[in-house]
């Protein structure tokens, strides 16, 4: 997609890359029939918004599910939190499928639209985000019955670290990622057409969807400060929390700054992430109380009246995001610097008892273990920054080659 190429070129100017579009039969920008492209970005904007909505529903539903399982246990398969999660996945999947089908039909009738799509399997032409969201939503949907099968075999385990919980969460987060690609793609197309409001809307949607991606992936770090997250290496015990948090922060926040051409893109993602966590804090406790009454259930442990997810939420990624945005300003080669910013995410700071996680790590691991864990965090940060940068470039390249 041209706007994304231009953005990448601004960061990594390579004359050879500029030749790519000219190798394909395309109309000069001034001669493009604007209405068809306008319809294309409108389609992507609308369907990307549906994926965003689905992702937010998934995030709220999962937070509610964690509360329900912690306080009541896992009873029926189709409890409302599960239905909410499945609804979010379905929304995302249907929106992605609609995008792929509509753009494919459209591209067969309109060469200009075809030029702005990515071919797949010799059958389809659509936005890369449509494919990513579609496959990821399918993955999450398939994981639900597999999870029921796993529970049927091994009993009810409320840990997030179970094979098909990981598959569900990974699928839901990557559905959101596909939505972010869709919205960024719409923003880029709108920018090329000079549609300022739509450009803003597209990138704002992308920022919000990156936040949903980040938040859903963050669930996978929740067990990391428990004994299961600690690995005894013989001479030292390490904890995987720093590795996971820096990997996640690096991947999503660096990807966001590669895709969204805004100065405070990463900070925006962190801010929206906190807004979503605030929504969880407001929604989950009353929803749980209401459901307990409706289902005639009883609390297995005292109801604290707060949302566990909101009050266990790691806060340091906010500082990581601000640091990333500051480091990016005026710097040409920022890969290592961005990774070092991500190291801040190693420190487990949460809203309810801010330093409890840090104390836990020091008590359980000792100074040597903490140091080794932070080194592991550095590995995660470098890996995450690489993944984020690569995912941003992959989007630009895939759509450029369309």
Partner 1 sequence: MPLLAQRLLLAAGLVALAALLGEMGLSVAATTHGSQPARVAQVDAGPYPLRVSFYTDPAHAGFAEPFAIAPVGQRGGLTFTVSSDPGPGVQATPVNDGVGDDPAVPGGVQGAAEVPVQGPWDLGIVVDGPRGPGRVEVPFQATAPPAIPDWLGWLLGFVPFYGLIGFLVLQRPRRRAAMSPA
Least distance in Å: CB of 164 to partner 1? 6
- Interface region with partner 1, contact rule CB under 8 A, candidates 9-17, 202-210, 256-264, 335-343: 9-17
Measured CA to CA, the distance from residue 118 to residue 311 in angstroms comes to 42
| Binding residues for partner 1 restricted to 137-196, rule: CB under 8 A | 138-143, 145-146, 148-157, 162-167, 170-171, 173-174
Min CB(168)–partner 1 separation in Å: 9
Separation between Cα atoms, residue 145 and residue 105, nearest integer Å: 33
Each as own residue / partner, the long-range contacts of residues 323-329 (CB below 8 Å, 24 or more positions apart, any chain) are 324/253, 324/254, 324/257, 324/266, 325/257, 325/263, 325/264, 325/265, 325/266, 325/267, 328/257, 328/263, 328/266, 329/263
Burial class for 284, CB neighbours closer than 10 Å (0-12, 13-18, 19+):
buried
- Per-position x/- string for 277-316, each x denoting binding to partner 1 as judged by CB under 8 A, each - no binding: ------------------xxx--x----------------
Binding-site member from 90, 120, 292, 315 for partner 1 (CB under 8 A): 120
How near is the Cβ of 57 to partner 1 at its closest, in Å? 19
- Name the minimum Å distance from CB 386 to partner 1: 9
**Any contact of residue 340 with partner 1 (CB under 8 A)?**
no
Site string for partner 1, 64-83 (x = CB under 8 A): --------xxxxxx------
DSSP β-ladder status, 118-120 and 237-239: unpaired
Query: Any idea which residue has 């966590």 for tokens?
Result: 277
Rounded Cα distance between 377 and 318, Å, is 17
Residues between 362 and 391 with contacts to partner 1, criterion CB under 8 A = 387, 390-391
| 199 touches 170 (CB < 8 A) | no
Q: How far apart are CA 345 and CA 328, in angstroms?
A: 18
Residues that bind partner 1 (CB under 8 A): 14, 16-17, 19-20, 22-23, 72-77, 120-123, 132, 134-136, 138-143, 145-146, 148-157, 162-167, 170-171, 173-174, 295-297, 300, 387, 390-391, 393-394, 397-398, 400-401
């Amino acid at each position: 997609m041209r706007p994304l190429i231009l953005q990448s070129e601004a960061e990594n100017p390579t004359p050879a890359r500029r030749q790519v579009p000219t190798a394909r039969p395309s109309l000069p920008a001034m001669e493009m029939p604007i209405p068809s492209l306008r319809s294309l970005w409108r389609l992507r904007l609308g369907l990307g918004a549906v994926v965003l909505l689905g992702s937010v529903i998934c995030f709220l539903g999962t937070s509610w599910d964690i509360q329900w399982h912690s306080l009541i246990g896992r009873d029926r398969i189709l409890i409302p939190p599960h239905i909410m999660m499945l609804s979010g996945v379905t929304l995302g999947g249907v929106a992605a499928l609609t995008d792929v089908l509509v753009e494919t039909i459209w591209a067969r009738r309109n060469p200009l639209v075809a030029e702005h799509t990515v071919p797949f399997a010799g059958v389809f032409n659509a936005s890369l985000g449509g494919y990513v969201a579609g496959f990821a939503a399918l993955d999450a949907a398939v994981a639900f019955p597999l999870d029921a099968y796993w529970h049927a075999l091994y009993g009810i385990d409320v840990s997030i670290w179970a094979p098909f919980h990981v598959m569900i969460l990974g699928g839901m987060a990557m559905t959101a990622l596909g939505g972010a690609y869709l919205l960024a793609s719409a923003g880029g197309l709108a920018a090329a057409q000079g549609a300022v409001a739509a450009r803003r809307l597209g990138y704002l949607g992308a920022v919000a969807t990156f936040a949903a991606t980040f938040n859903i992936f963050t669930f996978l770090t929740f067990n990391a400060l428990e004994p299961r997250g600690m690995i005894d290496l013989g001479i030292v015990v390490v904890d995987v929390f720093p590795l996971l948090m820096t990997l996640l922060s690096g991947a999503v926040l660096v990807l966001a700054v590669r895709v969204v051409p805004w100065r405070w893109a990463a900070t925006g993602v962190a801010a929206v992430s906190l807004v979503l966590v605030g929504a969880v804090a407001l929604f989950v406790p009353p929803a749980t109380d209401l459901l307990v009454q409706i289902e005639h259930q009883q609390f297995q442990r005292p109801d604290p009246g707060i949302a566990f997810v909101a009050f266990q939420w790691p806060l340091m990624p906010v500082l990581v995001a601000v640091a990333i945005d500051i480091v990016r300003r005026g710097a040409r080669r920022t890969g290592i610097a961005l990774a070092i910013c991500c190291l801040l995410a190693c420190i487990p700071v949460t809203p309810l008892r801010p330093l409890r996680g840090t104390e836990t790590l020091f008590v359980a691991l000792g100074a040597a273990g903490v140091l080794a864990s932070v080194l592991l965090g550095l590995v995660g940060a470098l890996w995450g920054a690489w993944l984020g940068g690569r995912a941003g470039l992959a989007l630009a390249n895939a759509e450029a080659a369309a």
